[in-house]
Amino acid sequence: MRRYSLGVNIEKLFAEVLKLTSAAQFSAEEKRPALISEAITKNDVLKFMLYALWELKGIEENHFLELSSRFEEIGRMLYGWRQKILSENRPPER
């Protein structure tokens, strides 16, 4: 039952990451960093839950490795996007 519950939570979190990413893409510039930060946080929780599911033997190792590498890449992309936006919004140094 725990494995099933984790799977459902993983699906919900993934949908939330997609929703936040889409919202950030089409939102006003000042709102983007907060939305992207929330997506990063949810992606990190998603990776942890995926690891827990693997530890509970709810997912095969090859699937776990494939998914975790993709979630790592998503995290890197989101972090890079946030850094780019933050650096663009900084006032120029004198």
Torsion, Cα 7 17 74 66, to 10 degrees, reads: 10
Distance of CA 48 to the CA centre of its chain: 11
- The pLDDT of residue 45: 96
**Both tokens of residue 58?**
């709810």
Classify residue 42 as exposed, middle or buried by CB count within 10 Å of its CB (0-12, 13-18, 19+).
buried
Domain assignments of the chain as residue spans, ordered by start: 2-89
Mean pLDDT of successive 10-residue stretches along the chain, which has 94 residues: 79 96 94 96 96 92 95 97 89 65
Classify residue 85 as exposed, middle or buried by CB count within 10 Å of its CB (0-12, 13-18, 19+).
middle
pTM: 0.87
Classify residue 23 as exposed, middle or buried by CB count within 10 Å of its CB (0-12, 13-18, 19+).
middle
